[in-house]
A and B are shown apart, each in its own frame.
Chain A
Amino acid sequence: MEQITDATLLDIHRRMIRIRIFEETAGKLMEDGKIPGALHLYVGQEAIASAVMVHLSNKDWITSTHRGHGHLIAKGGEFDQMFAELYGKATGYCKGKGGSMHISNLDLGMLGANGIVGGGPPIAVGAGFSNKFRKTDNVSVSFFGDGASNEGSFHEAANMAGLYKLPVIFICENNGYGEYTAQKNHQAIVDVADRAAGYGMPGVIVDGMDAIAVFEAAGEAIKRARAGEGPTLLECKTYRYFDHVGVRGMGLSYRTDEEVEQWRKRDPIESLEKRLADQGILSPEAAQAVHDEVRTQVQDSVRFAEQSPMPDPSTLLEDVYAA
């Protein structure tokens, strides 16, 4: 198994902080009515995107979900273009035409957040097919939730990836809820990883709140894929602190506040910072400095987004077809 270096640990840590502060800030801006529309926030799940993405280059492609900001940030997304996209500004990653649920960037290999649950897996299969066809050692990674694992699209995609032995990694972020329905009320199984057996691929379960565990398990799956040994279904057990949509996480009928508090005690950032401090890799003061630095960057980027121009109305009709 690949030994994780101090530099990689620090890299993962920074990506997690970037996601956390971006998301908390974006949530506040949504509540204040500054960012139009609704946001699905990734807070609580940061370890997964961050620890997977350090294994990937820009030529490795990912498909994301409606909860996609974290995936793009971990893949190298810039705050300026991200906030601008959320604001619907011309300077956004998609010129303001995508918004939160459809944010994407070709250069980073981020095929897009996706407003359709289960929309991504078949597309990742096609991207993976192309990687194999063109004899590259690039992989594609499809992120999806426990809810999407009930969609036919996931099963069709997993079957095809297994059949063609494609370099695709299916990463199920099982946060226990499909929108507002608890897992026990939407599927008869506890471990989504069990479904791998039906498609001739390994199913692996990992603690999604533990960045190092995710790093190791994802590393194995990605290595297998690059070596031509086929796909893996990696299930990361995790939790979303905020609501399905928006910020409010507590005082809701579909889950208990005690449950939220229990999961928050296992916060992926706090636990990683404790390990980094114990091992003398990053002192609490140095960790705080990362938070402060990222917070400043976020504030600068919010300013950038707010000061950016709206797209010109003439662009409404552009990009429907090739020019």
Chain B
Amino acid sequence: MPQMNMIQALNSAMDIMLTRDPSVVVIGEDVGYFGGVFRTTDGLQRKHGEHRVIDAPIAEGGIIGAAIGMGVNGLRPIAEIQFADYIYPGFDQIASQLAKLRYRTGGDFFAPVTVRTPCGGGIRGGQTHSQSPEGLFTHVAGLKVVMPSTPYDAKGLLISAVEDDDPVIFFEPKRLYNGPFDGDHDKPAVPWSTHPGGEVPEDYYSLPIGRAEVVSAGDDLTILCYGTMVHVAQASAARLGVAADIIDIRTLLPLDVATLKQSVEKTGRCLVLHEATRFSGYGAELVATIVEECFYALEAPVRRVCGWDTPYPHAFEWEYFPGQKRVMVAIENLLEEE
């Protein structure tokens, strides 16, 4: 089985879709000639042509709006927003146009647009290159929201996103691009070749949108997480020797409620993790879902470990990032609660 990092896996997914489907195009800042600031689109313009892999001006609303027009008119665009922090100028086009197009036309129109965007912290990017804005998008009816945690999932889910007739906001945790970062920033970087999720088939495959994955099984508690926090959760549980059901949400919208419910009914304890700020974060939706679905199975309150409710701090990156230390404390407390 070939080994790929997440960048190569995403590149492979786009290469395959550009080859299989002549209506697929890629548009974004620096994606063409240069190959993307993270190299995610490297070589695609050379192979597929300037009319398929298109360099756009630095104009996020224009990029997403153009992708909508393309999508309505017979193409299947993949729009790259270079950092998730840059998506706000395009938010109007996403929230007011893209998400609502099908509904407001009574099903007459749709735009099969995928918006790819690198998110999250751990790269010392400061407040405008580290954000995790996924909760803003899960709050918009009409969108699907995906965030993979491994190269294998990234490729399979991106292919599904491109094939999906609904708009998909595809978040790529950029600290995971080159390796399975578990929150321990003092440790030497680990490459994906050491992780089973780095085994990625060369050929086409897809993974279903709307399905969470139980990445490790245990009876002590359930940990709900996605993106970078999946690796933090695994490392934290292993260090404590705790048997946790660790569930990688993978597709935040639609949410795989059945998998969550099955786990929490078994364990009775649930911890929710994300990098994004805590208040009104996506975790609040997860907590509400667990309380509504599993109330009588719960043995303790559902707890959250999240980013602090501050802008992403430059100096205090590792105090902000919900690393192993905070997660372990939360696990221990949760297991002791009566």
| A321 pairs with B166, CB closer than 8 A | yes
Interface centre among A92, A95, A114, A130 (most CB of B within 10 A): A130
B257 at the interface (CB under 8 A from A): no
* Chain B positions within 8 Å of A122 at CB level: 61-62, 64-66, 68-69, 93
| A156 pairs with B96, CB closer than 8 A | no
Which of these, B51, B62, B65, B164, contacts A133 with CB under 8 Å?
A: B51
| A61 pairs with B57, CB closer than 8 A | no
Interface with B: A42-50, A102-110, A269-277, A300-308, which one?
A102-110
| A159 pairs with B70, CB closer than 8 A | no
Quick one: closest B residue to A311, CB to CB? B106
A201 at the interface (CB under 8 A from B): no
Q: How far is the CB of B228 from chain A (nearest CB, A)?
A: 28
Interface residues of B in 37-78 (CB under 8 A from A): 51, 54, 56-57, 59, 61-62, 64-75, 77
A64 at the interface (CB under 8 A from B): no
Determine the distance from Cα of A125 to Cα of B89 in the docked complex, in whole angstroms.
17
Which of these, B62, B96, B141, contacts A119 with CB under 8 Å?
A: B96
Determine the distance from Cα of A3 to Cα of B320 in the docked complex, in whole angstroms.
69
Q: Please, could you name 23 A-B residue pairs with CB atoms under 8 Å apart, sorted by A?
A: A97-B105, A111-B72, A112-B104, A116-B92, A119-B96, A121-B65, A122-B62, A123-B69, A127-B72, A128-B69, A130-B73, A130-B74, A133-B25, A140-B69, A153-B65, A153-B93, A156-B65, A159-B57, A318-B107, A319-B107, A320-B102, A321-B102, A322-B166
| A119 pairs with B103, CB closer than 8 A | no
* Chain A positions within 8 Å of B93 at CB level: 119, 122-123, 153
A binding-site residues for B, Cβ under 8 Å: 61, 92-98, 102, 104-106, 111-112, 114-116, 119, 121-131, 133-134, 140, 152-153, 156-157, 159-160, 163-164, 318-322
Q: How far is the CB of B79 from chain A (nearest CB, A)?
A: 10
Determine the distance from Cα of A104 to Cα of B274 in the docked complex, in whole angstroms.
40
Determine the distance from Cα of A94 to Cα of B68 in the docked complex, in whole angstroms.
19
Q: How far is the CB of B161 from chain A (nearest CB, A)?
A: 13
| B70 pairs with A130, CB closer than 8 A | yes
Q: How far is the CB of A107 from chain B (nearest CB, A)?
A: 8
Determine the distance from Cα of A119 to Cα of B100 in the docked complex, in whole angstroms.
12
Determine the distance from Cα of A111 to Cα of B56 in the docked complex, in whole angstroms.
23
| A112 pairs with B70, CB closer than 8 A | no
Which of these, B66, B109, B141, contacts A125 with CB under 8 Å?
A: B66
| A153 pairs with B92, CB closer than 8 A | yes
| A131 pairs with B73, CB closer than 8 A | yes
Could you give, for residues 140-180 of chain B, a 1 whenever the CB lies within 8 Å of some chain A CB and a 0 otherwise? 01101000000000000000000011100000000000000
* Chain B positions within 8 Å of A319 at CB level: 102-103, 105-107
B binding-site residues for A, Cβ under 8 Å: 25, 51, 54, 56-57, 59, 61-62, 64-75, 77, 89, 92-93, 96-97, 101-110, 141-142, 144, 164-166
| B69 pairs with A95, CB closer than 8 A | no
| B106 pairs with A125, CB closer than 8 A | no
Determine the distance from Cα of A125 to Cα of B57 in the docked complex, in whole angstroms.
13
Determine the distance from Cα of A129 to Cα of B142 in the docked complex, in whole angstroms.
24
Interface centre among A96, A121, A128, A153 (most CB of B within 10 A): A153
Which of these, B71, B105, B164, B166, contacts A126 with CB under 8 Å?
A: B71
Determine the distance from Cα of A103 to Cα of B96 in the docked complex, in whole angstroms.
15
Determine the distance from Cα of A114 to Cα of B69 in the docked complex, in whole angstroms.
14
Quick one: closest B residue to A133, CB to CB? B51
With contacts A111-B69, A127-B73 known, what are 7 further pairs, Cβ within 8 A? A116-B97, A122-B66, A126-B77, A127-B69, A152-B61, A152-B89, A320-B103
Determine the distance from Cα of A129 to Cα of B72 in the docked complex, in whole angstroms.
11
Determine the distance from Cα of A156 to Cα of B59 in the docked complex, in whole angstroms.
6
| A104 pairs with B142, CB closer than 8 A | no
Q: How far is the CB of A66 from chain B (nearest CB, A)?
A: 12
Interface centre among B51, B102, B105 (most CB of A within 10 A): B105
Determine the distance from Cα of A164 to Cα of B27 in the docked complex, in whole angstroms.
12
| A157 pairs with B65, CB closer than 8 A | yes
Q: How far is the CB of A137 from chain B (nearest CB, A)?
A: 14
Given that A123-B97, A133-B25, A153-B92 are contacting pairs, would A97 and B71 also be in contact in the complex, using a CB cutoff of 8 Å? no
The 4 closest A-B pairs by CB, nearest first: A126-B69, A122-B65, A156-B62, A95-B106
| A127 pairs with B92, CB closer than 8 A | no
Quick one: closest B residue to A63, CB to CB? B69
* Chain B positions within 8 Å of A106 at CB level: 105, 108-109
Q: How far is the CB of B156 from chain A (nearest CB, A)?
A: 20
| A104 pairs with B108, CB closer than 8 A | yes
Quick one: closest B residue to A99, CB to CB? B104
* Chain A positions within 8 Å of B97 at CB level: 114, 116, 119, 123
Q: How far is the CB of A84 from chain B (nearest CB, A)?
A: 11
* Chain A positions within 8 Å of B164 at CB level: 322
Determine the distance from Cα of A153 to Cα of B72 in the docked complex, in whole angstroms.
18
Quick one: closest A residue to B112, CB to CB? A322
Which of these, A125, A159, A163, A322, contacts B165 with CB under 8 Å?
A: A322
Quick one: closest A residue to B52, CB to CB? A133
Quick one: closest B residue to A140, CB to CB? B69
Determine the distance from Cα of A61 to Cα of B65 in the docked complex, in whole angstroms.
15
Given that A122-B66, A122-B93 are contacting pairs, would A130 and B75 also be in contact in the complex, using a CB cutoff of 8 Å? yes
* Chain A positions within 8 Å of B102 at CB level: 319-322
| B61 pairs with A153, CB closer than 8 A | yes
| B66 pairs with A126, CB closer than 8 A | yes
Q: How far is the CB of B186 from chain A (nearest CB, A)?
A: 43
Determine the distance from Cα of A106 to Cα of B108 in the docked complex, in whole angstroms.
6
Which of these, A111, A127, A320, contacts B142 with CB under 8 Å?
A: A320
* Chain B positions within 8 Å of A322 at CB level: 102, 110, 164-166
Determine the distance from Cα of A93 to Cα of B107 in the docked complex, in whole angstroms.
10
| A98 pairs with B61, CB closer than 8 A | no
Determine the distance from Cα of A92 to Cα of B105 in the docked complex, in whole angstroms.
10
Determine the distance from Cα of A102 to Cα of B64 in the docked complex, in whole angstroms.
19
Quick one: closest B residue to A106, CB to CB? B108
Quick one: closest B residue to A105, CB to CB? B108
| A160 pairs with B105, CB closer than 8 A | no
Quick one: closest B residue to A102, CB to CB? B104
* Chain B positions within 8 Å of A104 at CB level: 104-105, 108-109
